[in-house]
Structure 1
Amino acid sequence: MSETTAAQELVITRVFDAPRELVYRAFTDPDQLAQWFGPVGWSVPRDTVDIDARVGGHQRFTMVNDADPSMTSPADGTFSEVVENELLVGYEEVKGVPGFPDGTRLTVRLEFHEEPGGKTRLVLRQGPFDPAVRADAEEGWGSSFTKLDALLAR
């Protein structure tokens, strides 16, 4: 990987206090994704979520700002690799998003690793990002993962 590519990629490692199958399902089950995805202050209405977790399948949803529902952020990704309970890789062609030239292919790779004590280590890689946008994405994922922690604790 080139230095430029590494600088543009966001990498987050997080350990969740839940088995790998449950963490994986939180990303692939529409009912669960709607309960946790999006940073604090944003929600994902269940009726906007459509997930087909297979190679060539898709993940579509719309984040809605809680304070101003006219502010939305739709996502329409395609899965390029899927290994149940282990790996999700996908991409989205970005259009009309501040900080991204139209047509940018934003990729995300989610690795689900078993950890002792029934825990799961998630490794997320996403990019490419402009450095300022990468910082916002990292903050957004961290906030979303706090919501995911609460869902997994139920």
Structure 2
Amino acid sequence: MTANVMVVVERQFDFPRPRVFRAWVEPHELKQWRGSPGWHVEEDTLEGDHKLGGRHTHVKVRDNDPTTRVVTNGVYSEFFEPDVFVSREQITGDPGIDPTKPLELRVEFTKMGRDGTLVRIIQGPYDPDVAGWHGEGWEKELTRLANFLAGTGEYATGGDGR
């Protein structure tokens, strides 16, 4: 089958763009929410050079089977904090993704109202038979991000994240 489907997922957060952007790029924050329920990111695998041309990596591990690992290695082709980043990624260990064919991940952070942020994820191309499953995965991860952001009390009223 031909990989020709782009997954698009959006979610609005009641936090300023710099705060939400930071949750995506700071290793100690990314570790707290990335991965669908039942998965976690291994802290010692988080690496990142957050700039144009910078490389980043992380490994997601299944909680009940640590031998099941999904490795993401990417290079930023765009990096404009706090507006957008684009990464060309090789993902290994995910049975729905061909590890020899890079995916593009674009994450946009749009100001909404006074302190809100609309996050728009565009990723692909996927084979049509697995695209829906990956869209659902992003929805679950964005729910985890929302819970993480809500749990950081210092940012609940804007704090230093503006």
Length-normalised TM-score, structure 2: 0.86
Identity of aligned residues (%): 36
Could you tell me which residue of structure 1 aligns to residue 158 of structure 2? none
Instruction: Give deviations 1:17-68, integer Å, cap 9, x for gaps.
Output: 2110011001110000000001010000211111111111122010000011
Q: Distance in 1 between matches of 2:44 and 2:11?
A: 28
Q: How does 1:1-154 map to 2 (within 5 A)?
A: 8-94=5-91, 97-153=94-150, 154=152
Instruction: Give deviations 1:84-118, integer Å, cap 9, x for gaps.
Output: 10010011134564233442120011110000141
3-state DSSP class of the match of 1:128? strand
Q: Distance in 1 between matches of 2:94 and 2:145?
A: 25
Unaligned 5+ runs, structure 1: none
Give the counterpart letter for 1:52 in structure 2.
D
Aligned length: 150
Unaligned 5+ runs, structure 2: 153-162
3-state DSSP class of the match of 1:56? coil
RMSD: 1.7
Q: Distance in 1 between matches of 2:118 and 2:14?
A: 9
Q: Distance in 2 between matches of 1:53 and 1:104?
A: 23
Conservation of the 8 A alpha-carbon contact between 2:49 and 2:56: yes
Length-normalised TM-score, structure 1: 0.90
Conservation of the 8 A alpha-carbon contact between 2:71 and 2:92: no
Q: Distance in 1 between matches of 2:35 and 2:90?
A: 19
